[in-house]
Amino acid sequence: MKTSVFLGTMAAAALLAGAASAQSTLEAVKARGELICGSNTGLTGFGAPDANGEWQGFDVSLCRAIAAAVLGDPTKVKFVPTTGETRFTSLSSGEVDVLVRNSTWTFSRDTELAFDFVAVNYYDGQGFMVKKELGVSSAKELDGATVCIQTGTTTELNLADFFKQNNMSYTPVNVADDSEAAAQYLAGACDTYTTDASGLAASRATMADADNHVILPEIISKEPLGPVVRHGDNNWGDIVRWTFYSLVIAEEKGITQANIGEIIAAAEADPNYDPEVKRLLGVGDEDMGKLMGLDAEWAMRAISASGNYGEIFEANIGASTPIKLARGLNALWTQGGLQYAPPVR
């Protein structure tokens, strides 16, 4: 999801963030003993409470990995639900330490809003969902349609551009979040619902008649989604960035939640073991964690929390889940995808 720039609100929030900047985010998290992670209000597979009230999902797992790396415990996370309109204010004001929910990396957010998107954990694009009974097989057949769309998002801009470029008209039905959009769409208030394709798949998975809904083939935008931190605290940005990359490298190297103990033992026993694995897992003399203010076992804990990137993907949104997302662009670079981590050295 992709919120537009609200400069007045953000300027006020930036003042509050500036007052808190005397203490680094790492220091604040350690002193508090808890990571505060800005999340979605509830997007199945990505970030939502389960039947027991425990937060679960693809983005949630990254928050837990960060908590494990920094605090030694993946459960020491407080999840703060944020909407498309409140998420960036929550981050800028210091209400949350990091934003990990479907937020698109754009030029203005990176510069004008003074945020750092430290990595892309999901490559996505905006799409459309319709009911089969509408008889539509392409978004270019939606001339004159009513469209459920979240307010305050650049989804609105993408939608306007697409319809203008194709000489079509539409009537927007404004909604506040994903759950309202799905409810309005199911109630017949709109002909189509548009958002990130992953969000459409997540919403469809919760529908009782999921097979009666079609995600159209057109992807009308680039939506690189990833964790976001505030400008100016580079060390905290490094921690969030490299926690994510540690999960990607773990998949590249075949390190899983189940075998990580065996791999550490093998690395300790073999002086010729893969040097990058040793550096990543804190085996040997090279302590990479100290460069970020962490200990040598930060990555080991991050990987142990929920597994490597591939494990997290498959467990929450992969082909065997109700969401049934293919890896696609989110496969490793060695498998035709875009997920590529810089080396640990």
**Tens of pLDDT along the chain (345 residues)?**
544 444 444 444 444 444 344 689 999 999 999 999 999 998 999 999 999 999 999 999 999 999 999 999 999 999 999 988 899 999 999 999 999 998 999 999 999 999 999 999 999 999 999 999 999 999 999 999 999 998 777 788 899 999 999 999 999 999 988 888 889 999 999 999 999 999 999 999 999 999 999 999 999 999 999 999 999 999 999 999 999 999 999 999 999 999 999 999 999 999 999 999 999 999 988 899 999 999 999 999 999 999 999 999 999 999 999 999 999 999 999 999 999 999 999
Please give the pLDDT value at position 85: 83
Instruction: Tell me which residue of 177, 211, 171, 220 sits closest to 192, measured CA to CA.
Output: 171
> How far apart, in whole angstroms, are the C-alpha atoms of residue 127 and residue 198?
9
- Residues 221, 235: contact at Cβ < 8 Å? no
CATH topology of domain 127-221: D-Maltodextrin-Binding Protein; domain 2 (3.40.190)
In single-letter form, the type of residue at position 168 comes to: M
> How far apart, in whole angstroms, are the C-alpha atoms of residue 302 and residue 293?
15
Q: Quick one: tokens of 240? A: 């969030």
Please give the pLDDT value at position 155: 87
Q: Quick one: tokens of 254? A: 């075949």
Please give the pLDDT value at position 20: 43
Total Cβ atoms within 10 A of residue 71: 18
Please give the pLDDT value at position 327: 97
> How far apart, in whole angstroms, are the C-alpha atoms of residue 300 and residue 262?
12
Is the Cα dihedral 261, 267, 269, 273 positive or negative?
positive
- CATH homologous superfamily of domain 1-125+222-339? Periplasmic binding protein-like II (3.40.190.10)
Which residue intervals of 168-233 are DSSP H helices? 178-186, 197-205
Per-domain residue ranges for the chain? 1-125+222-339, 127-221
Q: What are phi and psi of 88, to 5 degrees?
A: -75, -35
Please give the pLDDT value at position 259: 98
Predicted TM-score (pTM) of this structure? 0.90
Please give the pLDDT value at position 176: 82
Total Cβ atoms within 10 A of residue 214: 17
> How far apart, in whole angstroms, are the C-alpha atoms of residue 220 and residue 31?
44
Domains 1-125+222-339 and 127-221 share a fold: yes
Please give the pLDDT value at position 9: 44
Q: What is the dihedral of CA 62, 301, 74, 37, to 10 degrees?
A: -40
Please give the pLDDT value at position 286: 87
